[in-house]
Amino acid sequence: MTQDFHKDAISQPIFKLIGEVSDELGMESYVIGGYVRDFFLKRETPTDIDIVGIGSGIQLAKKVAEKLKGKPDVSVFKNFGTAMIKYQGMELEFVGARKESYQRDSRKPIVEDGTLEDDQNRRDFTINAMALALNKVNFGQLLDPFGGLADLDQKIIRTPLEPGITYSDDPLRMMRAVRFASQLNFTIELESLRAITENKGRIKIVSKERIVDELHKILMSQVPSVGLKLLHQTELLPIILPELTALQGIEEIEGQRHKDNFWHTLEVVDNISRTTDNLWLRWAALLHDIGKAPTKKFHKKIGWTFHAHEFVGAKMVYKLFKRLRMPLNDKMKFVQKMVLMSSRPIILSEDHVTDSAVRRLVFDAGDHVEDLMTLCEADITTKNPKKQKRYKNNFLIVRQKIVEVEERDQIRNFQPPVTGEEIMKTFNLKPSKEIGIIKDAIKEAILEGEIPNEHEAAYQFMLEKGKKMNLKVHSE
């Protein structure tokens, strides 16, 4: 057990105060978990700080709050035996040291009072079990019974106790192991890796919300494929995201093959993560090809096809979000839109770029045209340098055209230059399908470049269209 002193880790006055209050109450207290880990990793230390007391964490929290400036409120969670103080941008969570036991059908433990050793035993990983003492007698002393500091140096994710028991007791720890490996670029120790695979089925007792929370963190890591590959390797991925693993594999018929869309997808996610921190755009990259598995067909004359995979994929996004209890709101609609439109700029970049095609792209993508272009550029995974250069240059041309068309025609968030009310007044119409027909015709004429996006030109076009529809101009 490491017993060096690290007073610099807890130099903030709040830690000294907690130690003084602990001494008054005659109890030991320690800062434990993520704060300690991130200090030694030289990462930005988290603002949520876990304090463990050998005794009542709630009593400790209340006494600390009394001595803090402004006497902040204490939020007590009796069912969990915890209390929280929000103070100067920090969230201090106090808990009494405890030991835990689990029943097979639940990840909610049976909790009893325990020692610091009991509390460290119940932690998920050695790197999260390190504690720094806060009492005056041993202020800043590191208690590291499982060699967490050494594991930090060696970049290893390891459980304090036997991994099979650790993961079976609380299967969410399997997702957390993968997430920490992805966030920190660490390696999961071999026995742990095997135990995750052996206990993969236990993930089904974890709530979808907790699983998604870990997925978000994996996707937001610097190189998400690290975590996604581990989920695949441990066989958790087909349980959580079967739509993704369905893409794996290469088929060959009559000498014609298609690429492995699973590994391609992981590359796309890594590519996009270099250019955006938008979580939902990263989700779009992860799901952009999921429609390819159900639409894959082989035709003797043209080879492998994935017709309408974008349309099918967009529908699958809704089902996936619903199954994982993710928000069925604008975030989901954004991902759907990106999946649905994911091939549009690619097709444009391969053909001669016409103004009307660019206008339609901007019209359909609206405010998300930049996100769509970012996704399509991330979709370039060819290893052929000449092809890669050509594709990137083509996208530059498309981007340039978007700017030109946007400046000239103002198509983004298109509002018809002639309103429905104006059409009704001109032809003395009541609400009817004719109004919709005329508005659509004006929109199409602008998108095709037949008329500029201006009121006078649109008004004249409206008069001509009305004439063809045998509508008479109303004279007052």
CA dihedral 465, 471, 473, 476 (to 10 degrees): -150
Decide if pLDDT at 358 tops 90.
no
* Residues 136, 71 within the same domain: yes
Provide the CB-side half-sphere exposure for 79 (13 A, CA). 2
* Residues 20, 77 within the same domain: yes
What is the per-residue pLDDT for 252?
A: 57
101 in any annotated domain: yes
Work out the number of other CB atoms within 10 angstroms of the CB of residue 113. Answer: 13
* Residues 142, 44 within the same domain: yes
Distance CA 254, CA 302 (A): 11
* Residues 169, 142 within the same domain: no
Q: Is the dihedral of CA 262, 264, 267, 272 positive or negative?
A: negative
Q: Give the domain range for residue 185.
A: 155-240
What is the per-residue pLDDT for 293?
A: 86
CA 215, distance to chain mean position in Å, is 6
212, 240, 268 - which closes a domain:
240
222, 240, 258 - which closes a domain:
240
259 in any annotated domain: no
Position 270 confidence tier, pLDDT thresholds 50, 70, 90:
very high
Q: Which residues of 266-294 are buried (b: 16+ CB within 10 A; e: fewer)?
A: bebbbbbbeebebebbbbbbbbbbbbbbe
**268-282, 315-329, 456-470: which has the minimum mean pLDDT?**
456-470
273 in any annotated domain: no
> What does the pLDDT look like over 147-169, one tens digit per residue?
999 999 999 999 999 999 899 88
Checking 32-37 for CB contacts under 8 A at 24+ apart, the result is: 32/119, 32/120, 32/123, 32/129, 32/130, 32/131, 32/132, 33/123, 33/128, 34/128, 36/9, 36/130, 36/131, 36/132, 36/142, 37/127, 37/128, 37/130, 37/148, 37/152
Distance CA 264, CA 261 (A): 5
What is the per-residue pLDDT for 3?
A: 62
Region 284-301: mean pLDDT is 86
Distance CA 337, CA 101 (A): 46
Decide if pLDDT at 328 tops 80.
yes
Work out the number of other CB atoms within 10 angstroms of the CB of residue 375. Answer: 26
Q: For residue 291, what is the DSSP state?
A: T
What is the per-residue pLDDT for 70?
A: 86
- In the chain, the number of structural domains is 3
252 in any annotated domain: no
- In the numeric block, the tokens 């929290």 are attached to 61
> What does the pLDDT look like over 195-213, one tens digit per residue?
999 999 999 999 999 999 9
* Residues 82, 72 within the same domain: yes
What is the per-residue pLDDT for 448?
A: 85
* Residues 23, 116 within the same domain: yes
Work out the number of other CB atoms within 10 angstroms of the CB of residue 427. Answer: 19
* Residues 100, 160 within the same domain: no
* Residues 142, 165 within the same domain: no
The three-class DSSP label of residue 375 is: helix
Residue 357: φ, ψ to 5°: -65, -40
- Residue 97's nearest CA partner among 74, 120, 124 is 120
- 311: phi > 0 → left, psi -120 to 50 → alpha, else beta; which? alpha
> What does the pLDDT look like over 367-381, one tens digit per residue?
899 999 999 999 988
* Residues 44, 138 within the same domain: yes
190 or 113: whose pLDDT is higher? Answer: 190
201, 218, 240 - which closes a domain:
240
What is the per-residue pLDDT for 348?
A: 72
Decide if pLDDT at 80 tops 80.
no
Which residue type is seen at 288?
A: H
What is the per-residue pLDDT for 159?
A: 96
Helix (H) or strand (E) holding 447: helix 433-447
Its pTM stands at 0.85
What is the per-residue pLDDT for 294?
A: 86
The listed range with the strongest mean pLDDT (72-86, 240-254, 288-302) is 72-86
The three-class DSSP label of residue 132 is: strand
Residue 407: φ, ψ to 5°: -65, -40
Decide if pLDDT at 111 tops 90.
no
Position 389 confidence tier, pLDDT thresholds 50, 70, 90:
confident
* Residues 182, 55 within the same domain: no
> What does the pLDDT look like over 50-70, one tens digit per residue?
999 999 999 999 999 999 988
Decide if pLDDT at 404 tops 90.
no
Strands (DSSP E) contained in 377-431 are none
* Residues 203, 147 within the same domain: no
What is the per-residue pLDDT for 381?
A: 87
- In the numeric block, the tokens 């340098």 are attached to 385
- Whether 34 and 50 have beta carbons less than 8 Å apart is answered as yes
Residue 451: φ, ψ to 5°: -135, 150
- Domain with residue 103: its CATH number is 3.30.460.10
* Residues 61, 184 within the same domain: no
- Domain with residue 164: its CATH number is 1.10.110.30
What is the per-residue pLDDT for 468?
A: 92
255 in any annotated domain: no
Provide the CB-side half-sphere exposure for 131 (13 A, CA). 27
257 in any annotated domain: no
163 in any annotated domain: yes
Over pLDDT 70: what percentage of the chain? 92
Average pLDDT, the chain: 89
325 in any annotated domain: no
228 CB burial (10 A radius; 0-12, 13-18, 19+):
buried
Position 79 confidence tier, pLDDT thresholds 50, 70, 90:
confident
| Bridge partners for 5 per DSSP | 141
Region 243-260: mean pLDDT is 73
